[in-house]
Amino acid sequence: MHVRVKIDGNEMEIRTVWMEENRVVKMIDQRKLPHRFEIFESPDHKTTAFAIKEMIVRGAGAIGVVAAFAVAQAANTIRTSNFEEFMKELNNRLDVVRASRPTAVSLFYNINRVLSAVRKCGNVDEAKDVAYDEAQRIAEESVEICRKIGEFGAELINDGDTVLTHCNAGALAFVDWGTALAPIRMAHYQGKEIKVLVDETRPWLQGARLTAWELEMEGIEHYIISDGAAGYFMRKGFIRSVFVGADRIAANGDVANKIGTYSLAILAKTNNVNFYVAAPLETFDLNCPNGDNIPIEERSEDEIFYVWGLDDEGAWRRVRIAPFGSRAHNPVFDVTPHEYVTLFITEKGLVKPPFKENIQLLIRGGSHKK
């Protein structure tokens, strides 16, 4: 499976992110897609934190896995044999990773998961191996979790459906498969005819650049639309369902996801379109009672002012589209209140309203502990 890549007629399958035995973390450089396919190599946790911050790797799941890899990288070069000192130094080193991006809870969840495995062993040499093994386990589990989300979600897609997705919650946003795109991919493999409308997703254009690239590689029929066009297509009755991912979901079911998700959810409700949120259980943050408690990242104004891509001669260009005197606001996530969500698609199955009760039941009842 993996991310399917076709370059110059050659086809290969590759994971979005992985860590080698020497602790070098490798990742598809998402800043360069769809026009260039390059692998970025990170030798240490500080470079990995840089890769997250600069969106060389992005998407909640991929960020989470890479953060787990960063713990293994940080642990590996600590030079003390005193376990208490080791733990203290490891914790300090991880601050740069914690500070990289605030909204996707998987980053914090996976750092804590690796740290708690390490804390149990009490011996520095063993701890370095435990950090490596636990991080690799998280990556493997992520693939399987997303595959299950694909299976449960595919049941919601009928032959002949047109669906809409926002941002990129595909294989590039995880290790493989993705969340919102997993049901679409799975339904396609099941032989269902599907059309996908892809919101371009200003300002970083994850939809136009990344989701469109993934669908193109998979041979799934898709059309990029401007973000403002979704209502037009819903009102015409063209769209049966919207599939989005999530960066963090509060205990009551409020969803933080890519900016523009909230407007889409309102449009979907107004036009009787299903609004599905696909996410692994680790995305549910029971420490946030509702969406108001979710930290929302603000990124540089330059993401609004400039676009980049290939010009007609094939040269890479960054061009300014806004007046030099203008200012911009760039919150990159918004919160969709739970009442706009039709269903959550998780690796344990579909979650229906009432969300607060059913989320609690699923998380407390599952193997997943918060």
Establish if 244 lies at the interface with ligand MRU (CB under 6 A).
Answer: yes
Residue placing its CB nearer to ligand MRU in the complex, 97 or 130: 97
137 conformational bin, left if phi > 0, alpha if psi -120 to 50, beta if neither: alpha
CA pair distance 276, 190, nearest whole angstrom: 20
Q: Which one of the spans 31-39, 54-62, 89-97, 126-134 is the region binding ligand MRU (CB under 6 A)?
A: 54-62
Q: Which of 248, 258, 338, 348 binds ligand MRU (CB under 6 A)?
A: 258
Number of chain residues interacting with ligand MRU (CB under 6 A): 16
Applying CB under 6 A, which of residues 73, 142, 206, 211 lies at the interface with ligand MRU?
Answer: 206
State whether the Cα torsion 48-50-54-59 is positive or negative: positive
Position among 214, 247, 285, 334 found at the interface with ligand MRU (CB under 6 A): 247
Query: Per-residue x/- marks for ligand MRU, 315-344, CB under 6 A?
Result: -----------------x------------
Contacts 24+ apart (CB under 8 A), 339-343: 340/262, 340/265, 340/266, 340/268, 340/269, 340/275, 341/253, 341/255, 341/265, 341/275, 341/276, 341/277, 342/274, 342/275, 342/276, 343/156, 343/274, 343/276, 343/277
Among 40, 59, 66, 138, the residue binding ligand MRU under the rule CB under 6 A is: 59
Chosen residue from 16, 211, 257, 342 binding ligand MRU by CB under 6 A: 257
Identify which of residues 75 and 283 has a Cβ nearer to ligand MRU in the complex: 283
Residue nearest to ligand MRU (CB): 245
Please name the residues in contact with 231: beta carbons below 8 A apart, sequence gap of 6 or more.
267, 271
Among 21-29, 78-86, 129-137, 240-248, the segment contacting ligand MRU (CB under 6 A): 240-248
For the chain, how many residues are written? 370
Whole-number Å distance between alpha carbons of 107 and 70: 10
Residue 169, interface with ligand MRU (CB under 6 A)? yes
194 contact partners, CB below 8 Å, separation of at least 6: 157, 160, 161, 162, 163, 184, 187, 188, 220, 221
Point out the residues that are catalytic: 247
246 contacts ligand MRU (rule: CB under 6 A): yes
- Pick one of 16, 42, 48, 179: the residue that binds ligand MRU (CB under 6 A): 179
**Interface residues toward ligand MRU, by CB under 6 A:** 58-61, 167, 169, 173, 179, 206, 244-247, 257-258, 332
